[in-house]
Amino acid sequence: MKQDLRVMKTQESLRNALLTLLKTKALDSISVAELCRLAKVNRGTFYSHYKDVHGVFKHYLEVIVEDFKKAYEEPYYRTGFRIQYIRPEMIKIFDHVNRYKSFYQIIFHQKIPMMYYYLLFDTVRKFMYESLENNHINPELEVQMDYLISYQANAILGLIMEWNRQDYATPTEELSKQLITILSINSPFRNKE
């Protein structure tokens, strides 16, 4: 179903205003009034879409995570979860981060509370868990899935965080090559041939 263009523009205005405010304020201290003022959206319109400011953040996070999930899963699905067949051009995670760079700049900013990182981490960890079935892990390994998934989620978020620290200077193609190299080092996701 196609979404109304006015609704899309309203949501985009609210997201952009929220990102601007999050650069200087914690989510809990942002009022609906100041968000609406900055977004140039009246409060009645706001409340027809969201219950509170947290709702705007949650909705935006859902949009970002859905896109992240697609970007994360694409190379695995294209290769049947065989990492040794993933090529750098198949990796889309860094393209995703470029699309939502302003969000990631806030999440990974040193002055921003860690709760945002944990919210992202828990969400990424959940979809990683869902996308990996036990048969994609080398059965000879005795690894607990919770630890493995947490390790993987922190690893990919760590790469993105480092890229953010370097002000996104490294081209996405180079990062994709780096990720392939890192993944090929003793990966428990490698299938035996």
pLDDT more than 70, % of the chain: 90
pLDDT above 70 (res 1): no
Instruction: State whether 16 and 86 are in the same domain.
Output: no
Cβ–Cβ < 8 Å for 60, 103:
yes
Give the separation between CA 191 and CA 74, rounded to whole angstroms.
Answer: 18
Residue 171 domain flag: yes
Residue 190 has pLDDT above 60, yes or no: no
> 98 and 44 in one domain?
no
Q: Residue 20: is it exposed, middle or buried by C-beta count within 10 angstroms (0-12/13-18/19+)?
A: middle
Check whether 148 has a pLDDT greater than 90: no
pLDDT (tens digit per residue) in 9-56: 999 999 999 999 998 888 889 999 999 999 999 999 999 999 999 999
Domain that residue 125 falls in: 59-183
Average pLDDT of the chain is: 86
Tokens representing 135 are: 């048969």
Classify residue 121: in a domain, yes or no: yes
- Give the up-direction half-sphere exposure of residue 75: CA atoms within 13 A in the CB hemisphere: 20
Residue 70, H or E segment = helix 53-79
The CATH number given to whatever domain includes residue 28 is 1.10.10.60
Instruction: Please determine, for residue 145, whether its predicted confidence score (pLDDT) is greater than 90.
Output: no
The reply to whether 41 and 124 lie within a common domain is no
Number of folded domains that form the chain: 2
Place of tokens 């309203």: 10
Residue 192 has pLDDT above 50, yes or no: no
Residue 18 lies in a domain: yes
Q: What stretches of 6-159 adopt beta strand conformation (E)? A: none
CA distance 136 to 48: 44
Of residues 28 and 133, the one with the higher pLDDT is 28
pLDDT (0 to 100) of residue 137: 62
